[in-house]
Amino acid sequence: MVVALDLQDFLLRARVLKLYRQALRISRRAPGDSKDELRLMIRQEMENNRVCKDKQRIRFLISDGLEKLKQLDETLDMQGR
């Protein structure tokens, strides 16, 4: 079954996918022993919120995810990765 998305849904979906790709790219820089665990956590977080239909909640989750990614990126930078 194909569901037609309105423009707002389409743009939110694109932002979610972009966040997911960014998270996976940053996870490549993690130390080898924690890389798989980090990817699993990223995947689990996305799966847990997959059924969310509330656009305001989705926007909040995106901004929260971006903030967490920024912190992770800074942490990995400090470690020299």
pLDDT at 80: 82
pLDDT tens digit sequence for 8-26: 999 999 999 999 999 999 9
Taking 70 as the pLDDT cut, the residues of the chain under it are 1-2
How many helical (H) and strand (E) elements, i.e. helices and strands, does the chain have? Answer: 3, 0
Q: What is the pTM of this model?
A: 0.88
pLDDT at 38: 94
Q: Are 24 and 66 in contact (CB under 8 A)?
A: no
pLDDT at 41: 95
Q: Are 22 and 69 in contact (CB under 8 A)?
A: yes
